[in-house]
């Protein structure tokens, strides 16, 4: 009986170890990826360097841009949007996760978004 639990225990340990990282930036990027994949990929592509079913590629987006678009559905002053549509909805409840999302998108650096 006891032995059967060992693989589970090993798995739990492995998971908890990979969760705790010494590098806060890496932890932030990882969290941002999770939040992005959960909340944004209905419209944006799983790979943010690519266009999604509805939304444009957003890899490389700055913190300022992510905050403006996600929280207020606006753009930073002087920013030229990739699309002229207004199809995205504001996701105000994600405000606390904006730094993580931006860290993830910036870490990809794929597009030339400001
Ligand atoms: C309902 C579909 C939808 C969802 C969900 C969505 N987006 Fe968007 N997003 C769009 C569309 C469409 C655009 C293009 C502009 C517009 O129509 O609002 C866009 C534009 C953007 C832009 C601006 C791109 C640029 O440089 O012009 C950013 C940044 C962005 N989205 C980030 C996100 C993030 C981060 C999430 C998840 C937290 C998200 N979006 C969720 C549809 C969506």
In this prediction, residues 16-27 reach a mean pLDDT of: 74
10 CA → ligand 1 middle, Å: 40
Q: Are 40 and 109 in contact (CB under 8 A)?
A: no
In this prediction, residues 41-66 reach a mean pLDDT of: 97
19 CA → ligand 1 middle, Å: 28
pLDDT tens, position by position, 42-53: 999 999 999 999
Q: Is 27 among the domain residues?
A: yes
Q: Is 70 among the domain residues?
A: yes
Protein residue with least CA distance to atom 38, ligand 1:
40
- Whole-Å CA distances, 35 to 22, 29, 61, 106: 20, 10, 15, 14
Q: Is 11 among the domain residues?
A: no
Q: Is 16 among the domain residues?
A: no
Q: Is 15 among the domain residues?
A: no
The band of 22, judged by pLDDT with boundaries at 50, 70 and 90, is confident
pTM of the entire predicted model: 0.84
* Residue 14 predicted with pLDDT over 70: no
Residue 26, token pair as written in the block:
């890496």
Task: Report how many domains make up the chain.
Answer: 1
Q: Is 2 among the domain residues?
A: no
What own/partner pairs with CB < 8 Å and gap ≥ 24 does 8-14 have?
A: none
Q: Are 44 and 111 in contact (CB under 8 A)?
A: no
* Residue 113 predicted with pLDDT over 50: no
Q: How many CA atoms lie within 13 A of 23 on its CB side?
A: 5
Residues lining ligand 1, Cβ inside 6 A = 36, 39-40, 42-44, 54-56, 58, 61, 65-66, 69-70, 81-83, 85-89, 91, 94, 101, 113
The CATH number covering residue 39 comes to 1.10.760.10
Q: Is 52 among the domain residues?
A: yes
pLDDT tens, position by position, 73-105: 999 999 999 999 999 999 999 999 999 999 999
Q: What angle do CA 33, 36, 42 make, to 5 degrees?
A: 140
44: containing domain? 23-108
Rg (C-alpha) for the chain, rounded Å, is 17
56 CA → ligand 1 middle, Å: 7
């Amino acid at each position: 009986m006891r032995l059967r639990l060992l693989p589970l225990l090993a798995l739990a340990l492995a998971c908890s170890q990979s969760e705790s990282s010494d590098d806060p930036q890496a932890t932030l990027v990882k969290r941002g990826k999770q939040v992005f994949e959960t909340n944004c990929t209905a419209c944006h592509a799983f790979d943010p360097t690519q266009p999604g079913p509805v939304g444009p590629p957003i890899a490389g987006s700055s913190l300022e841009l992510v905050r403006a678009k996600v929280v207020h559905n606006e753009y930073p002053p002087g920013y030229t949007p990739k699309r002229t549509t207004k199809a995205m909805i504001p996701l105000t409840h994600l405000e606390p996760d904006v730094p993580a999302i931006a860290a993830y998108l910036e870490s990809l650096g794929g597009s030339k978004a400001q």
